[in-house]
A and B are shown apart, each in its own frame.
Chain A
């Protein structure tokens, strides 16, 4: 009886979880298979999981046009690195400051941070301020600054870690030995808070890697094209695949040598855009999970 129930439970739960896992995975398989499908075959038979004719011409096209895609790739990496680094530095400094609740003013400063979770100026006035006051339109900072560099949840996570997981006696001892506050932060507190910094850093990096909205709002085709990241290119391609083809023919003549796979190429660029995530994610899975469990439920 007991073992019968055990077996039934295992079967039902495996079916439920397995079904969802399959549904989660299938679209990615379709995307990858479709990017390797022969374009002519696909235009007659559509994208399927088992195409009859395979082709790497989409990737050949991208390789031939690597100038544009490669540049966007480098820009994505640069934005991710700079953004994540700046985020970590200002967040960990801020979190350390407000973790010292006994210092006059720190409670008020914490409130300023938490209030941003409750109320914001909205898109219109944020857009106005960034373009008319701070003039970030069509600059590199357009991809770094708006909305992404410091977020109250992350700061609170780091602050809680400082308060709960780093013994105050360690800091006290260093202070008695005459260490300066910045020295204490950098040589004692930060090394001890690596786990939380890794978690926050990874989530932030993912956010920067995936961001396309800052590009949509703050980069124009005329002045900002040199800052395009992969995501922004993917977003633009949706609308202008034809103009891309025209530009390719004009500039290099490559389009005559490499057949232009107008449908499969978009999917191939998408595959290249998600490849780093697919490779890195399984290795860092536990940090992502930790980031969610820590950040998911209140402060």
Chain B
């Protein structure tokens, strides 16, 4: 390419034009809000705006962490995420391994289609599905299932002790198809030579799974683990808001950081508390994903994200 420097630069102009709309969107949707995060250190005055409002140091955080909510929303957010990850990974791997052993392609495709179906639904719709089971007056549980075992009806949306269990079941029901497909595609990617060799040595099916498939899934598990560690301070707002029908009596076990931020912001218009909680969530998540990635880089470089 024997063109002058100037000619080269002008040749690049179309590419800069191509990234421009996306860059503008990133500015609007991501980078300007990143500066807005200073809201957490302000005594918000709506008429003065973020930048005009007075600084208040760490007051907002002091109020947040002195309230009873701070501990319970942190515990709920992290606790549920850990249970979701552990149980979800286990079941997804069981399913993926089973799926891989099926010889009938037709059965494989049918099962996969059905198990993935819940993943495509919005949380609003999932809320309705759960309601059909748990509704106090009309629900399937209270009217059909519990009488079958001679149990009395339960006021599901007001009894918090059942909810850790319900939320785990609903979350896994919705997401297991997604993780199953990820693990299944990893298994399909394993070279057949390994299994061939094992078969010649007379290894049973179970031994092949135990000593070939599962160890080779480890990198995928680790990658997904870092991703979920980075998300451990986030909760799926839809799950906790729609499925519980935002029932206040359940809050001890169902209110996560996202629920708290939503409530403080949209219901109480409390920028101080919601801003502080939101800041706490973003910064902790950021620190965690960097730390998790560094640790993985040290022990298994190929699984690190960046």
Name A residues whose Cβ lies closer than 8 Å to a Cβ of B.
5, 9-10, 12-14, 16-18, 20-25, 27-28, 30-31, 34, 42-43, 45-49, 89-91, 93-94, 96-98, 100, 103-106, 109, 112-114, 116, 118-129, 132-134, 145-147, 149-150, 155, 180-182, 185, 206, 209-213, 216-217, 231, 234-235, 238, 263, 266-267, 270, 273-274, 277, 281-282, 285, 288-289, 292-293, 296-299
Top 8 A-B pairs, shortest CB-CB distance = A46-B143, A125-B36, A121-B33, A94-B22, A122-B278, A210-B122, A97-B19, A181-B14
Tell me whether A120 and B128 are in contact in the complex, defined as CB-CB below 8 angstroms, given that A18-B111, A43-B138 are known contacts: no
CB-CB under 8 A for A292 and B102, given A42-B138, A150-B25: no
A123-B262, A125-B39 are known; give 17 further A-B pairs, CB within 8 A: A5-B204, A10-B101, A12-B98, A17-B99, A21-B114, A27-B118, A30-B132, A90-B22, A91-B22, A106-B15, A122-B261, A125-B37, A125-B275, A206-B120, A231-B122, A238-B245, A296-B182
Considering the chains assembled together, what is the distance between the CA atoms of A150 and B25 in angstroms?
Answer: 8
Kindly state the separation between the CA atoms of A281 and B118 in the bound complex, as whole angstroms: 11
Given A17-B107, A297-B220, A48 contacting B140 (CB threshold 8 A)? yes
Q: Which residues of chain B from 236 to 295 have a CB within 8 Å of any chain A CB?
A: 237-238, 242, 245, 258, 261-262, 265-266, 271, 274-275, 278-279, 281-282, 285-286, 289-290
**Cα–Cα, bound, A195→B181 (Å):** 19
Give the shortest distance, in Å, between A63 (CB) and chain B (any CB): 20
Q: How far is the CA of A34 from the CA of B129 in the complex (A)?
A: 10
CB-CB nearest in chain A for B100? A13
Instruction: Please measure, in the bound complex, the distance between the C-alpha atom of A91 and the C-alpha atom of B19, giving whole angstroms.
Output: 9
For B276, give the chain A residue with the smallest CB separation: A124
Task: Choose, from B64-72, B73-81, B171-179, the stretch at the interface.
Answer: B171-179
Partner of A124, one of B12, B39, B177, B230: B39
Contact indicator A155/B274 (Cβ below 8 Å): no
The reply to whether A124 and B278 contact each other, CB–CB distance below 8 Å, is yes
Give B102-117 interface residues, CB cut-off 8 Å to A: 102-103, 107, 109-117
By the criterion CB–CB under 8 Å, are B120 and A298 in contact? no
| Known contacts A121-B37, A182-B14; A129/B32 CB under 8 A | yes
B166 within 8 A of A: no
Q: Tell whether, in the assembled complex, residue A109 and residue B122 are in contact, meaning their CB atoms are under 8 Å apart.
A: no
Return chain B residues, CB-CB under 8 Å to A128. Answer: 33, 36, 39, 50, 271
User: Which single residue of chain B is at the shortest CB-CB distance from A203?
Assistant: B120
Between-chain CB contacts (< 8 Å), 15 pairs = A16-B98, A25-B114, A27-B173, A94-B18, A121-B33, A124-B274, A128-B36, A146-B29, A150-B26, A212-B122, A234-B128, A266-B128, A277-B120, A285-B112, A293-B182
Residue of A nearest to B182 (CB): A296
With a cutoff of 8 Å between Cβ atoms, the chain B residues found around residue A147 in the complex are 29
CA distance A281 to B119 in the complex (A): 11
Q: Looking at chain A's contact residues, is the secondary structure mostly helix, strand, loop, or mixed?
A: helix
Complex contact B98–A27 (CB within 8 A): no
Complex CA distance for A181 and B123, rounded to whole angstroms: 43
**Contact (Cβ within 8 A) B15 A100:** yes
Neighbour of A27 across the interface among B23, B116, B129, CB < 8 A: B129
In the complex, are the beta carbons of A23 and B173 less than 8 A apart?
yes
Report B-chain residues with C-beta under 8 Å of the C-beta of A211: 122
Chain A CB within 8 A of B45 CB? no
B37→A10 contact, CB < 8 A: no
Q: Which chain A residue lies CB-closest to B34?
A: A121
User: Which A residues lie within 8 Å of B124 (CB)?
Assistant: 210, 212, 231, 234-235, 270, 273
Q: Chain B nearest CB: distance from A75 CB in Å?
A: 15
Instruction: Give Cα distance in the complex from A114 to B223, angstroms.
Output: 16
A30 and B278 contact, Cβ closer than 8 Å, known pairs A9-B101, A96-B18: no
At the interface, is chain B mostly helix, strand, loop or mixed?
A: helix
CB neighbours (8 Å) of A18 from chain B are 111
Q: Are A28 and B129 in contact, CB atoms less than 8 angstroms apart? A: yes
Name which residue of chain B comes closest to A291, CB basis: B181
- Residue B125 at the A interface, CB < 8 A? yes
- Give the chain A neighbours of B117 by CB distance below 8 A: 24-25, 28, 281
Name the contact of A126 in the complex, choosing from B33, B98, B271, B286 (C-beta under 8 A). Answer: B33
A126 with B36, Cβ < 8 A, contacts A96-B18, A149-B29 known: yes
Given A94-B22, A234-B124, A298-B223, A20–B176 Cβ distance below 8 Å? yes
From the candidates B29, B205, B275, name the one contacting A9 in the complex (CB within 8 A).
B205
Per the bound structure, the CA–CA distance linking A112 and B21 in Å amounts to: 14
Cβ–Cβ contact B28 & A5, under 8 A: no
Q: For B111, what are the chain A residues with a Cβ–Cβ distance below 8 Å?
A: 17-18, 20-21
Q: Are A298 and B22 in contact (CB under 8 A)?
A: no
Whether a CB of chain A sits under 8 angstroms from the CB of B133 is yes
Nearest A-chain residue to B230, judged by Cβ: A118
Are B120 and A46 within 8 A (Cβ)? Answer: no
A281 to B116, CA, bound (A): 10
Chain A contacts of B245 at CB under 8 A?
238
| Those of B23-71 within 8 Å (CB) of chain A | 23, 25-26, 28-37, 39-40, 49-50
Distance in Å: Cβ of B15 to nearest Cβ of chain A = 5
Decide: A122 and B281 in contact? CB cutoff 8 A.
Answer: yes
In the assembled complex, the Cα of A35 lies from the Cα of B16 at a distance in Å of 53
